[in-house]
Amino acid sequence: MKKSTLTIFCILAGCIFFLSGIWIYFQKNLDRVELGEGERATAYQRHYLMIANDKDTGMWQSVYESASKEAESKDAYVELLSPEQMNGYSQADCLKIGIASKVDGIILEADGSKEEQHLITEALKDGIPVVTVMTDDTATSRISFVGLNSYQMGSAYTEQIQGMLKEKGSTSVMFLSTSSSKTQETNLVYSQVKKELESRKKPGQTVDLTEYCVDSSADFDTEEFVRDMFVSDESLPDVIVCMDEIVTECVCQALVDYNQVGNVKVIGYYYSNVTLNAIDKGIISSAIALDMEEIGRYSVNALDEYISFGHSNNYYSVNQHVITKENTGEYRTEDEK
């Protein structure tokens, strides 16, 4: 009797174990993201949403391509969404869409708004980790920040500016940004440059360092400000340091339009086609860019690590590159070459 009971118990235990395995298998497959149809259909275990800042589409495309490549190696899919795609929708609306869609993780550039801070907290409560890139917001519940090292970035700018200082007398240097690119990180870069220039300048050299932030709430505000600055020769500095892609392209155009190439030295930001062409033609001296490939890769790694282990690095520091006439070819695509 006892032997018969034991046999039945073993059979029942085996059935339960088998059925549990089947349930887990199907549950995992239900959770997978299905893309495409028929033979080309692809399934992914995790679905991440990247919310792009529509002001810097070239930069975000580079970040997205890198993130997608890294995600694919981790059985995940990255979806790119920007307010520009969604007419009438804000970045906060895109974040709400991600939360409502129950994605597995979100990547975005923080804008510092109270609404966004609340939504990031709401996302984490719903089990959706958020990674901020390029611009951080420490007041949020984001799990990690991927961005610049202000010390290294400041040193890179200082080295470029130092070579543009007049041998004797004062050199006026203006840091030019927009309201969308002016962040705590760029403030730290400016402070670092100010500190380093003071210690590196030669006897007889003085530096008049200023910064100006253009209100970029309207589409043509930046372009208009730059044009007005070039129209009035008296307000032109000796050196302009551009802190974002939009400012760089506006300054490049103004240098040509107002015949100021060579009179005003310029350090650009990022490696758009406009910037690379301007460097090749000697319109601007150089440009500095964050490593967009690292930003994409690290942001996916942060999400993957958090979901897998319940924690991730609080901060990922990315490298920056100095782009000059000697190495512009390295930043062009095969088609552009």
Mean pLDDT of 76-104: 88
Q: Torsion angle, CA of 186/191/193/197, rounded to 10 degrees? A: 170
Among the listed residues 109, 111, 55, 268, the one whose alpha carbon sits nearest the alpha carbon of residue 176: 268
| 89 or 275, higher pLDDT | 275
Mean pLDDT of 91-101: 93
| CB-based contacts of 207, cutoff 8 Å, min separation 6 | 165, 170, 171, 173, 197, 198, 201
Sequence-separated contacts (24+) of 229-238 with Cβ below 8 Å: 229/254, 230/254, 230/255, 230/257, 230/258, 230/260, 231/258, 236/260, 236/263, 236/264, 237/172, 237/173, 237/174, 237/208, 237/210, 237/264, 238/164, 238/166, 238/171, 238/172, 238/173, 238/264, 238/265
Backbone φ and ψ for 189, nearest 5 degrees, come out as -65, -45
Which one is the CATH code of 42-148+292-318: 3.30.70.600, 3.30.360.10, 3.50.50.60, 3.40.50.2300?
Answer: 3.40.50.2300
| 266 or 222, higher pLDDT | 266
Each residue's pLDDT tens digit, 119-138: 999 999 999 999 999 888 88
Backbone φ and ψ for 209, nearest 5 degrees, come out as -100, 125
Report the sign of the C-alpha dihedral through residues 186, 190, 179, 285, in that order.
Answer: negative
Amino acid at 128: I
Mean pLDDT of 34-58: 68
- Which pLDDT band, with edges at 50, 70 and 90, does 28 fall under? very low
| 178 or 336, higher pLDDT | 178
Residue 108 has pLDDT above 70, yes or no: yes
Among the listed residues 155, 166, 151, 193, the one whose alpha carbon sits nearest the alpha carbon of residue 265: 166
42-148+292-318 and 150-290+325-331 have identical folds: yes
Task: Identify the bridge partners of residue 42 per DSSP, sorted by sequence position.
Answer: 35
pLDDT above 70 as % of the chain: 83
CB-CB neighbours of 231 under 10 Å: 12
Q: Domains of the chain: which residue ranges?
A: 42-148+292-318, 150-290+325-331
Mean pLDDT of 231-257: 91
pLDDT at 298: 98
Token digits for 247?
A: 């400012």
Which one is the CATH code of 150-290+325-331: 3.40.50.2300, 3.40.50.1370, 2.40.50.100, 3.30.420.40?
Answer: 3.40.50.2300
Please check whether residue 113 is in contact with residue 139, taking contact to mean a CB–CB distance below 8 angstroms: no
Task: Identify the bridge partners of residue 79 per DSSP, sorted by sequence position.
Answer: 49
CB-CB neighbours of 258 under 10 Å: 17
Give the global pTM.
0.79
pLDDT above 90 as % of the chain: 61
Residue 31 has pLDDT above 70, yes or no: no
| Strands 33-35 vs 42-44: parallel, antiparallel or unpaired | antiparallel
Among the listed residues 92, 90, 127, the one whose alpha carbon sits nearest the alpha carbon of residue 303: 127
Residue 65 has pLDDT above 50, yes or no: yes
Please check whether residue 43 is in contact with residue 33, taking contact to mean a CB–CB distance below 8 angstroms: yes
* pLDDT, the chain, mean: 85
Please check whether residue 183 is in contact with residue 135, taking contact to mean a CB–CB distance below 8 angstroms: yes
What is the length of the chain? 337
Least trusted range by pLDDT, from 54-58, 131-135, 228-232, 325-329: 54-58
CB-CB neighbours of 99 under 10 Å: 18
| CB-based contacts of 17, cutoff 8 Å, min separation 6 | none
- Which pLDDT band, with edges at 50, 70 and 90, does 10 fall under? low
| CB-based contacts of 124, cutoff 8 Å, min separation 6 | 130, 141, 143
